[in-house]
Amino acid sequence: MPSEFEVIARYFSRHTRTASLGIGDDAALVMPSVDSELAIACDTLVSGTHFFADVEPAALGHKSLAVNLSDIAAMGGRPRWALLAITLPEANAAWLEAFSEGFFSLAKQFGVELIGGDTSRGPLTITVTIIGEVVAGRALRRDQASDGDDLWVSGQIGSAALALQHLRGNLRLKGLALEQSMVRLLAPVPRVELGRALLGVASSAIDVSDGVLADAGHIAQCSGVGMDIHLADIPYLPELTRFKADPLFQHALLAGGDDYELLFTAAPDQSARIAAISTELALDLTRIGRVRDGSSVDILDENGIAMEISVKGHDHFA
């Protein structure tokens, strides 16, 4: 079995171009760009909680970085550097090879450099810390939505949650529906370009990690506003239409986590700009609701009547 230092050298040390000092010293050194604020976040994936222990290691490498890139996307930032703290039950060469391949291919796609981390032995757990940059004073926050804004969402919602239900045996997806949903669960694409395009356009933003209802609730609470969301307007993959009547479907749309799409608010006079961004990025952007006075987030049926909803978003301690 390779030693800790061999693991770091073989699988995680890569030459860095933008960091003044990368892996190998007690700390990395980076120089932020002028007029930027650093946007910093971390996310942990725990075996058995966030993924099945036998998940494809390349997918895990991809996802451990993707969920962090998504947080930078939600702030309207440009991701730049990452740190990787990995706890492994054993140093399996094939597993590490695939994991690092998944991690670095996504890192390359988004111009992110791995500049440090920590390696230890124990139950499989991965924590990535991401450092991004955002134009000073312009970040997309959760606390700036205002009465009258529209509520928008990118891409499609619920696919990752339905793929998970499939893996758990609660639903049977097939063909294209299965293929596409599984990609959303295992290898989500962080909406980094969208976040940056929304600077100066959106009034607030969040990434959908806990479910639309819970994440809209986070914006509502931070901004001190209420929201109405039209259930029928929440976009989903057309391949999943035949599951519409399944109770798991509505649950996935409202409370399914793991989609990593962006949910954002914008003044109605930004609609044309948002449509242009959608075309530019070839990414669906759908208006699903409205910000209003109050504090509740209501889900409206086809008649505009608030529905009785008992579903809640993901909460590790609930």
Contact residues toward ligand ADP (CB under 6 A) are 8, 12, 23-26, 84, 86, 114, 116-119
Q: Which is nearer to Mg ion, 117 or 132 (CB)?
A: 117
In contact, 88 and 126? CB cutoff 8 Å: no
Query: For residues 238 and 225, what is the distance between their CA atoms, to the nearest angstrom?
Result: 32
- Residue 243 is encoded by which pair of tokens? 């599951």
Binding partner at 84 among ligand ADP, Mg ion, none, C-beta below 5 to 8 Å by kind = ligand ADP
| Residue nearest Mg ion by beta-carbon distance | 118
CA distances from 180 to 186, 188, 226, 243 (A): 10, 11, 33, 14
Q: Read off φ and ψ for residue 79, nearest 5 degrees.
A: -70, 140
Q: What ranges in the chain are assigned the alpha helix state H? A: 4-7, 57-74, 93-109, 159-167, 175-186, 192-197, 212-223, 247-255, 271-281
Please work out, in degrees rounded to the nearest 5, the angle formed at the alpha carbon of residue 262 by the alpha carbons of 311 and 134: 135
Q: Are strands 78-88 and 125-135 parallel, antiparallel or unpaired?
A: antiparallel
Q: Which is nearer to Mg ion, 118 or 293 (CB)?
A: 118
Q: Least distance in Å: CB of 134 to ligand ADP?
A: 24
Q: Least distance in Å: CB of 75 to ligand ADP?
A: 23
Q: Least distance in Å: CB of 57 to Mg ion?
A: 22
- Of 100-129, binders to Mg ion (CB under 5 A) are 118
Q: Which is nearer to Mg ion, 81 or 249 (CB)?
A: 81
Q: Least distance in Å: CB of 14 to ligand ADP?
A: 9
Binding partner at 23 among Mg ion, ligand ADP, none, C-beta below 5 to 8 Å by kind = ligand ADP
- The answer to whether 4 contacts Mg ion (rule: CB under 5 A) is no
Site residues for Mg ion per CB under 5 A: 118
